[in-house]
Amino acid sequence: MAIISSASGQSAGSLQETQRGRTNVKTAQALAKMKALEKRSKNYKLPMGELAIFTQQLASLLTAGLPLVQCLEALQDQTEDQCFRIVIRDVRSDISSGNSFSSAVRKFPNSFNTLFVSMVEAGEASGGLAEILMKVAGYFESTVKLTKKVKSAMTYPIAVIGLAVALVNVLLIFVIPVFAAMFADFGAKLPAPTQFLIDLSNFMKKWWWAIFSGAYGAYWGLSKFIATPNGRRQKDLLLVRAPIFGNLIHKIALSRFCRTYATLIRSGVPILRTLEIVSAASDKVQIEDACQEIAKHVSQGGQVSVVLAANTFFPPMMKHMVKAGEATGNVDGMMTKIADFYDVECEATVSALTSLIEPILIVFLGVVVGGIVMAMFLPIFQLGAVAGGLQ
């Protein structure tokens, strides 16, 4: 009995040690995961859609009368994004320590953009944080809505073009060599299109690594060039002048400029600070140059419409409406109307491009694939004609 009791005690002790060891491992894993998430949260890039939802919910909670810290605690508990949950936790902790909301969110520039921080500053200064957050939430939602429509319009052509490239590569690398071996047995001179495809197939089979390396090198070099100020300028100029999508990109830039400007001015942000934020949020060198000129002109007592009238990037309609807004003291209202107009124009342009791109891509696929098939069957047609003539 003593031996059994001793064995039972040893078994229970070893079981407890095993459970304790498992608990320690789980605790260490949880700590390691938390440290990794905290490290990622410092530079976490919050999507615009998530920022719009967060801003809308925070504005609603503040409107209901809840204190800011309690609002952030509620949003921290309900968010499913673990990195953003840590960001909210750190912001809430910073506010609880006595710092302002704007200084707390400024520590996370990748999660909260310049527009959000500036609007929070304006809300704190005016005492209407909930109202201003409601306005910026509407701005974010309209931006996300327009971006989704453009992306949805671009998804189809990108998918079709990618499929066409993959299909052509399969034909050139795997199918055409089979025909080439068959044609070699004929011993006859092949038609020029057929010979060109066979030579291209042989080149791709032999030098595919060089083609891949060259494409990657060109992409890397272009990315490095675009990252430079001159390269970025050239990219923006070419995008606006692009034959199919240039008009849409131009309208989107104008809509973003007008809506950001109107939202900031209406929220009480000083005009020079507004121009700085609009310039940073535009992502277009044309808008940045215009904002610098407007800031210089306004600081000398001039009007915004004068600079817009001298800049060819802005259409005449926009210049006249801004001038009318300055005459009536309602520039932000006019800017909002212009932004609404260009949003409608962008939606119409996206719908038109979607309707136009589909038949163009179908014709493109038919020409490419049909051309390859016809080129490979030309020798067979010629042999049939020769055989018929001999009979």
Instruction: Say which residues have a Cβ less than 8 Å from residue 100's Cβ, sequence separation at least 6.
Output: 124
> What does the DSSP 8-state code read for residue 284?
-
The residue behind tokens 């609009």 is 278
Mean pLDDT value across the chain? 83
Q: Using one digit for the tens of pLDDT, what is the confidence trace for 67-87?
A: 999 999 999 888 888 888 889
List Cα–Cα distances, 171 to 195, 364, 376, in angstroms: 15, 16, 11
Q: pLDDT tens for residues 303-338? A: 888 888 888 899 988 889 999 998 888 888 999 999
Q: Which two tokens stand for residue 110?
A: 């990748």
Q: Residue with structure tokens 């342009």?
A: 349
Whether domain 48-112 has CATH 3.90.650.10: the reply is no
- What pLDDT does 334 receive? 92
| pLDDT in the model for residue 12 | 56
Asked if residue 172 lies in contact with residue 201, where contact means CB atoms within 8 angstroms, the answer is yes
Maximal CA-CA distance, the chain: 109
Reported confidence tier of residue 341, pLDDT bands at 50, 70, 90: very high
Q: Would you say the CATH fold of 140-391 matches that of 48-112?
A: yes
Lowest mean per-residue pLDDT among 4-18, 60-74, 165-179, 354-368: 4-18
User: 140-391 sits in which CATH class?
Assistant: mainly alpha
Q: Which residues contact 49 (CB under 8 A, 6 or more apart)?
A: 144
pLDDT reading at 252 higher than 80 = yes
> What's the pLDDT score for residue 389?
40
pTM assigned to the model: 0.75
Overall average pLDDT of the 17-34 stretch: 66
Rounded CA separation 121/102 (Å): 6
- Please, what is the Cα angle at 324 between 320 and 329, to 5 degrees? 145
pLDDT over 60 (residue 390): no
Q: Record the tokens describing residue 294, joined without a space.
A: 């407007």
Is residue 21's pLDDT more than 70?
no
Which residue shows structure tokens 């040893």? 10
Domain segments of the chain as ranges: 48-112, 140-391
Lowest model confidence (mean pLDDT) among 25-39, 200-214, 232-246: 25-39
